[in-house]
Structure 1
């Protein structure tokens, strides 16, 4: 596992990515809002024997640069640029949440770069009323605290939820400021989420490569009927539901996700 960087390119921010190593089929892992490439560490450990695994910190996240824009096109073109510079296309592209939308939009707009898709708990309708809360209002949430425990406590209080572990994966110790802080900016994360709101059926149906859809049975972001419609309307698409998992299936059942992805990789070559 090695943290690497692509230099900035024209109007594109400098992108950092985790090179998990491995050999064989290139596998690009795209995190969702608030994430970073390192959130896939456990998943990657189970996959490097079967694929060449790369996971970028997308713009505004992790160790990549912040940016002026966080549109769908921005994320798609960043992913395309990364694959081209690293010479990894066509790749199997795995995307979680907003990263899933980026994955299937990449397949539609750059089909030469995508061999197959794995979409984790993301659909083509990211809006109300189909999704009760497509945007989590994080405005004003704490950005730093003296300790990681205090940062977790403050975020849990702001969020009104006990488990904020996903957010804390993007918290780091800042020695210069003597605090723990988030790598992302909460206002940027609002822009990321708002840019993901929409109706994306044309992008989901615009590619023909094999696709695997993973749904968390306890997730509210990909309803069961919408997941089934995704499969029914698109050829060569298979659905797997993890009944005890929430939105972050790769955290709730990493072994199960690894097994499904390995089987999929064997099928698509």
Structure 2
């Protein structure tokens, strides 16, 4: 398997130094031939696997993870092609799901909850439906609902590539603030230092997936408990998208975050974190899954990608 070393993605010394300020331990697992890095916040509480977005290395989710350590044990994945994880050869949803399953198995995370933002929300949906590992529930935050026949993803590939080019040239928080003016200053600084750790191939492949892989191929079969958080002003999860999501998976809980666009935790951190904590608490209030019982309504041996049954 071809694998591009992390060093080719310009992980800056200043970025690595940020890890000293994060109350988490670096953990490593393998997914096939790929080495994956994650930030593990530790503790004896139920594990929560956090899956970031298209250009969000694990450390950029630190401000979320550290606010949840009284509820869960957050483990934030550097998705392949980002942060300190290897690149890999492909960047489609089921490959990302295999990496997440490898993380859960490799770290021995029993019945973890899943939480993903944007790209990570799509990955969480696929992991939950595939049911290759047992999960306790999922919270999806503003998953891209673009796809075949649904129009383009609202942020162009050119915009992502321009930001990557700025990062590799050398950027700072002030330049990041041009694109993300309302973000907290620390988050602008982290993005400035860590964006260059994102592989262009990973961004291109994921953006292509946003327009060629349909979230709604998976969403109707995501088992409960599941919650979908979305920005009230998000161009990614529009009002029509919310309506379709509600119809397609009526057992799911949907919650809009006032004053937030797609980057809901950066745009409206207080309201978004409150909604996330509430969703996680709801999942945790339910009985943990029975190890002898399948986690989904699919029969053993059924391929979730072809099962067309609708849940009540």
TM over 0.5: yes
Q: How does 1:34-183 map to 2 (within 5 A)?
A: 34-110=55-131, 112-126=133-147, 129-131=150-152, 133=154, 135-137=156-158, 138-139=160-161, 141-145=165-169, 148=172, 153=175, 161=179, 163=181, 169-172=190-193, 182-183=196-197
**Corresponding residue SS for 1:4:** strand
Alignment of 1:194-209 (within 5 A): 194-197=208-211, 198-209=213-224
TM-score, L = length of structure 1: 0.83
Give 3-state SS (helix, strand or coil) of 1:14's partner. strand
Look up the SS of the partner of 2:76 in the other structure.
strand
Give the secondary-structure state (helix, strand or coil) at the position aligned to 1:105. helix
- The counterpart of 1:265, out of the listed 273, 280, 283, is 280
- How far the C-alpha of 1:113 sits from its partner, in A, is 2.5
Distance 2:77 2:279 in 1: 22
Equivalences for residues 230-269 of structure 1 within 5 A: 230-269=245-284
Match of 1:28 among 36, 43, 49: 49
Deviations 1:93-144 (A, max 9, x none): 1111111000001100026422111111115444564455264323463342
Name whichever of 250-259 and 121-130 sits farther off: 121-130
Structure 1 segments unaligned to the other structure (5+ residues):
174-180
User: How is 1:187-198 mapped onto 2 (pairs within 5 angstroms)?
Assistant: 187-197=201-211, 198=213
Residue 210, structure 1, aligned to residue 225, structure 2: yes
Contact 2:153 2:210 in 1 (8 A): no
The CA RMSD measured in Å over matched residues stands at: 2.7
TM-score, length-scaled by structure 2 = 0.73
Render the CA deviation track for 1:243-268: whole Å, top value 9, x for unaligned.
20111111122222222222223322
Partner of 1:16 in structure 2?
A: 37
User: Residue in 1 aligned with 2:200?
Assistant: 186
- CA 1:187 to 1:119, structure 2 compared with 1: closer, same or farther past 3 Å? same
Paired positions, count: 255
The 1:252–1:116 alpha-carbon spacing in structure 2 relative to 1, beyond 3 Å, is same
Deviates more, 1:125-134 or 1:48-57: 125-134
- Contact 1:209/1:236, CA 8 A, preserved across alignment: yes
